[in-house]
Structure 1
Amino acid sequence: MSIDLTRETKTEQNQQVSEYINKVLSLIEKKEVNKEEAAWITKETVDGFREHVNPGFLTYRKSVTKDGQFAAVEWSDNGACFKDVNGKEYIDCLGGFGIYNVGHRNPKVVKAVTDQLKRQALHSQDLLDPLRAMLAKILADITPGDLKYAFFTNSGTESVEAALKLAKMYSERTTFISTTRAFHGKSLGSLSGTAKGMFRKPFLPLIPGFRHVPFGDFDMMKKTFEVCAAVGEDVAAVILEPIQGEGGIILPPEGYLKQVRELCDEYGTLLIFDEVQTGMGRTGKMFAADLYDVVPDIICLAKAFGGGVMPAGAIVAREEVFKSWFPNPFMHTTTFGGNPLACAAAIATIGVLIEENLPERAGVVGEYFIKELKEAAQGHEDKVLEIRGQGLMIGIEFHKDEIGYEVSKGMFDRGILVAGTLINSKTIRIEPALTISYEEVDKVISTFKEVLNLVKA
């Protein structure tokens, strides 16, 4: 009897789940939703986060928004903007932390992914898949220097993990040097290179062999190399963000990256550039390595690599380094890395960046953006400490966390999304689509000025 009741209960439960799924799918199918549907979506989203995702996200949203706007639910996007489920439009100056370099739902990227989806979504894992080969060739052509072989991933932290493993296998050394304020991801290997203690402490001990030195301090970097060599712990690789992103948009001192490159050459150490955030045109060049005229041994890509449509990442390495994976290509693999949809998105993304000259545009628009932000901040030196950046990778640092939060809230209330960084909460980041119009830039600047006038020091 109990078994029959259990079966009946399970059948009823499955029927309820099926009805819920059908309702969700019908909403996905709609181009527009009405007020009643928008209210249902909002309630289900908030309840779902509280009961089944993580209520901490609701607490965070409440800390960076005014009144009931913590419950804003994004629903659609296009160009440099997105809309919430109630139809309010926002200029996206967070850009998914640098995902939307070619804009939201770029039509060429969407078309490439849709066309590929009509033929084949995922590959068999055994036969040769053509788009992976073609994308790898394109990367060999556009990346700096003699970077040649590519391995594809799904995210930034996966790219960093692959780079660390490749560096270990190439040299059989186990020491890595990272820097303070660095952010390389949150999986165990990447987290070992990340500098933020709050993220690291709960998971200690991490991967052994990592040392951190102050970003931009070449003398300390050199002394650390010397000490490591003296005690028989030669450095396998130095991993750096050419411009630190989550650290607060920190630019390297003049000549620093070239000095590190020369130091690595002297000690037979690999140089890994984490360009997950700086890559794909954001800084005014296709890669920040080009900006500083430095060729790394391995470059890590993700975020904007998939065109804001597909999760996609990659590492590209010199043949001398990568060939340690030649004898056994299964030494490091990932099921979905380099899948046809992701490769189609990445190929189309690179095409858009080149055809529309977006890296150069990012440099020009970014220069204008920074200049106008600095002018808007004049007279508010008691609130704004510094405005800095390169291309459309801009940081506004305030004297106190509270000021940054109030500015973020005020701008969100007026339809501009910005956000503090993970490492430095006093700094809000501006990383819009590289396609952002001057009219949209001017709206961001005027809103920033308006909010600054209202916020107390």
Structure 2
Amino acid sequence: MSTATAEYELAEPLMLQWLTALGVDVEFVRGEGNTLYFVGPDGTEVPVLDYAGGYGSLILGHNHPAIVDAARDFFDAGTPVLAQAARQPAASRVAAALNSVLHREFGVTEPYFAVFANSGAESVEVALKHAEFDRVLKVKALAEEITGHLEAAGAAVASGTAVLPETTVAALGLPAGSGFDAVAAEVGGRLAASAARPSLFLALERGFHGKLVGSIQITHNPAFRTPFATMAPQARFVPLDRLDVLDEVIAAERATVPDVVVEGGAVAVVQREFPVFSAFVLEVIQGEGGIRVVDRAAAERIRAACDAVDCPIVVDEIQSGMGRTGAFFAGSLIGLVPDYVTLAKSLGGGVAKSAVTLVRGGRYRPEFELLHSSTFAKDAFSSALALRTVELLEADGGAVYRRAAELGDELIALFTSLREDFPDVVKDVRGKGLMLGLEFHDQTGSAAPSIAQAALTDTFGYAVAGYLFRVHRIRTFPTASATTTLRFEPSVLLTATEIARLDVALRALAAVLRAQDEHAFTAG
């Protein structure tokens, strides 16, 4: 066994076995634009057309020359990558650039403060932590206010300037004749019990937000979430096509706590809204859930429900952001102004690992900076490349956004035509811009054993991806939580020739599935 082989077998060996079974276990040695290259058995490079696009990380393609030049310039200048606890002007410039885009697209002027991270899942963790920290501080402020009211009311009763009516005692469920000490104890006890409630998040069914300890709890797929359900705060999931459930969930979880006031010389009980919900987290386009789009009506419904209980909205733009849908922020296309927005993937220009959480100024808690930190976040290298990426996306009046929209229209036309010609094979076409999904009909009844087996084991999309790679040298994968849907997330460098190649490959695939051709499906 060679050293290289041993190293690879120690790096997720089960995953390697699975890739081998699909016939996609190659090592890519070079990449440019939408093309990856591996070395074939004869020693020559084999090109592969990449429609997976780094799961949305490559809006500018592999090794974009301007990003590579920025990386070279950075290292040629000898700039330190890691110089923590010092001024970080590059990160500040990225935050300013992102604010400029956000203000333009959403028509707002409020600043959004930036907390940098290393990955998309971590940027979601930042949003969850900050939102919960904000809720906890609101609970603390409410508790201090009620405690102050109790002290004032108690002093008023003791001095004889206020009385404690039996109606107030009864309103708290206390025995008749109970004194103010009992009232104070009851109010304080209920407040303490409410304050001890664990945090609660709201999220959409089919949503995917990462696999870290916090983010996995708002990722809907039970296979990912359930094994770790006891490790972190819980979420209530709402179906996108039945948002009336959101009203039901809020009504069921909503809570009040008693407060006391002195009115007209008498102590009275009033109910105060208690901060229950930490945040509502959603993707504008659900990536791993099957490329399902949140429309403007749904966004307005969610915003109204959340505003009614002061629940902030975290918009996960990790996959849909950075110009992929025809605007920098996909949320701007449906008018969903975020309280928090997370970015990652393409933020690093396809070269650096970079992520950021933007927090609306009105909700930002500066104290959070003393509680959350990361050794590698906000480093000078990833910040330099993120800034260059934003500059490229914004160049020529947002030409990249227009190009993404145009290419998306072409691909949707291709998929729609395919569906019309193969309605028994293709079930649906979804998405926007260069974040698209092609859903296939259930194949569990296929006469081809490999097709039927893949469908029965929920690996159909991966088997299809293997076919496209082996036979047509096209690379894509299904969405993780909806494996009958193939995702297509190429870069804006996509050409007419590359689109035509995909058309040929997908039509061949559809013909194989229609014919239930075992030999053709397992070829290569």
**Same fold judged by TM-score > 0.5?**
yes
Specify which of 451, 459, 474 is matched with residue 416 of structure 1: 474
Opposite residue 54 of structure 1, the aligned amino acid is E
Match of 1:319 among 342, 348, 361: 361
SS state of the match for residue 185, structure 1?
coil
Partner of 1:150: 114
Match of 2:386 in 1: 346
Offset of residue 379 of structure 1: 3.2
Structure 1 residues not aligned, in runs of 5+: 1-39
**Which structure's CA Rg is the greater one?**
2
Verify: 1:394 aligned to 2:452, yes or no: no
Letter in 2 for 1:138: A
Q: Please give the per-residue CA displacement for 1:319-338, whole angstroms capped at 9, x wherever unaligned.
A: 1212x1x2462211111111
Take 1:254 and 1:289, find their aligned partners in 2: how far apart are those partners? 9
CA distance, structure 2, for counterparts of residue 440 and residue 328 of structure 1: 47
Residues 318-337 of structure 1: pairs in structure 2 closer than 5 A: 318-322=360-364, 324=365, 326-327=366-367, 329-337=369-377
1:372 counterpart residue number: 414
What's the counterpart of residue 240 of structure 1? 282
Q: Secondary structure of the equivalent of 1:104?
A: coil
Distance 2:485 2:4 in 1: 29
Match for 1:90: what amino acid? V
Q: 1:175 aligns with which of 196, 200, 215?
A: 200
Asked if structure 1 preserves the Cα contact closer than 8 Å seen for 2:285 and 2:292, the reply is yes
After superposition, the C-alpha distances for 1:293-313 in whole angstroms (9 at most, x for unaligned) are 110100000011101000000
Displacement of 1:372 in angstroms is 1.1
For the pair 1:428 / 2:382, whether they are aligned, the reply is no
How many residues align? The count is 409
Q: Give yes or no for the alignment of 1:306 onto 2:264.
A: no
Give runs of aligned pairs for residues 152-301 of structure 1, distance below 5 A: 152-172=116-136, 174-230=199-255, 234-301=276-343
Deviation track 1:351-407 (CA, whole Å, cap 9, x = no partner) reads 111115112211111011111122123332222111211111111111235453443
Q: Which amino acid aligns with 1:369?
A: L
- Residue 71 (structure 1) aligned with residue 96 (structure 2): no
Query: Residues 178-230 of structure 1, C-alpha deviation per residue, up to 9 Å, x if partnerless?
Result: 12111100110001111111112222313124211213422111221122214
Deviates more, 1:211-220 or 1:286-295: 211-220
Instruction: State whether structure 2 residue 96 is matched by structure 1 residue 137.
Output: yes
For residues 262-312 of structure 1, the C-alpha deviation after alignment (integer angstroms, 9 at most, x for no partner) is 222221110100010000011111111111111010000001110100000
Gaps of 5+ in 2: 140-198, 257-273, 443-453, 517-524
Who is 1:359 aligned against?
401
The corresponding residue for 2:167 is: none
Q: What residue is the counterpart of 1:116 in the other structure?
A: 74
- Bigger drift between 356-365 and 386-395 goes to 356-365
| Residues 330 and 64 of structure 1: CA distance in aligned 2, closer, same or farther (over 3 Å) | same
Offset from partner CA, 1:80-113 (integer Å, 9 cap, x none): 1111133111111001100100111111111112
Q: Which amino acid aligns with 1:62?
A: T
Q: Kindly state the Cα deviation for residue 47 of structure 1 after the two structures are TM-superposed.
A: 4.6
Q: 1:248 is aligned with what amino acid?
A: G
AA in 1 matched with 2:484: K
Residue 216 and residue 315 in structure 1: after superposition, are their counterparts in 2 closer, same or farther (change >3 A)? farther
Partner secondary structure for residue 374 of structure 2: coil
Match of 1:12 in 2: none
Which residue identity lines up with residue 412 of structure 1 in the other structure? Answer: F
Q: Is the Cα contact below 8 Å between 2:48 and 2:474 reproduced in 1? A: yes
Cα distance in 2 for residues equivalent to 1:89 and 1:367: 26
Asked whether the 8 Å contact 1:147–1:316 carries over to 2, the reply is no
Letter paired with 2:48: Y
TM-score (norm 2): 0.75
Stretch moving more, 230-239 or 99-108: 230-239
TM-score by length of 1: 0.85
426-435 or 155-164, which moves further after superposition? 426-435
Q: Matches of 2:7 and 2:221 in 1, distance apart?
A: 29
SS, match of residue 388 in structure 1: strand
| Partner SS for 1:100 | coil
Equivalents in 1 of 2:70, 2:295: separation in Å? 40
- Change in 2 beyond 3 A, CA 1:227/1:412: same
CA distance in 1, matches of 2:410, 2:5: 39
Counterpart position of 1:97: 55
> Is 1:106 matched up with 2:70?
no
Contact residue 225 and residue 234 of structure 1 kept, 8 A: no
Comparing 152-161 and 378-387, the one that deviates more: 378-387
2: CA distance, partners of 1:56 / 1:387: 32
In the alignment, which residue of structure 1 is the partner of 2:190? Answer: none
Pick closer, same or farther for the CA change 1:327–1:48 going to 2, 3 Å. Answer: closer
Paired amino acid for 1:193? I
- Among candidates 1, 11, 18, match of residue 60 of structure 1: 18
Equivalent-residue separation in structure 2 for 1:420 and 1:328 (angstroms) = 37
Q: Deviations over 1:17-66 (max 9, x none)?
A: xxxxxxxxxxxxxxxxxxxxxxx9xx76555332x11221123213433x
Residue 447 of structure 1, aligned match among 485, 491, 505: 505
Residues 119 and 354 of structure 2 are in contact (CA less than 8 Å); yes or no, is this contact kept in structure 1?
yes
> Aligned equivalents of 2:494 and 2:374: distance in 1?
34
Q: Name the stretch that deviates more: 116-125 or 83-92.
A: 116-125
Report the secondary structure of 1:295's partner residue. coil
Cα distance in 1 for residues equivalent to 2:229 and 2:79: 42
What percentage of residue pairs aligned between the two structures are identical? 29
Q: CA RMSD in A?
A: 1.9
How far apart, CA to CA, are the structure 1 residues paired with 2:510 and 2:4?
Answer: 32
1:281·1:358 contact (CA, 8 Å) conserved in 2?
A: yes
Separation in 1, partners of 2:55, 2:246:
29
Distance 1:147 1:291 in 2: 20
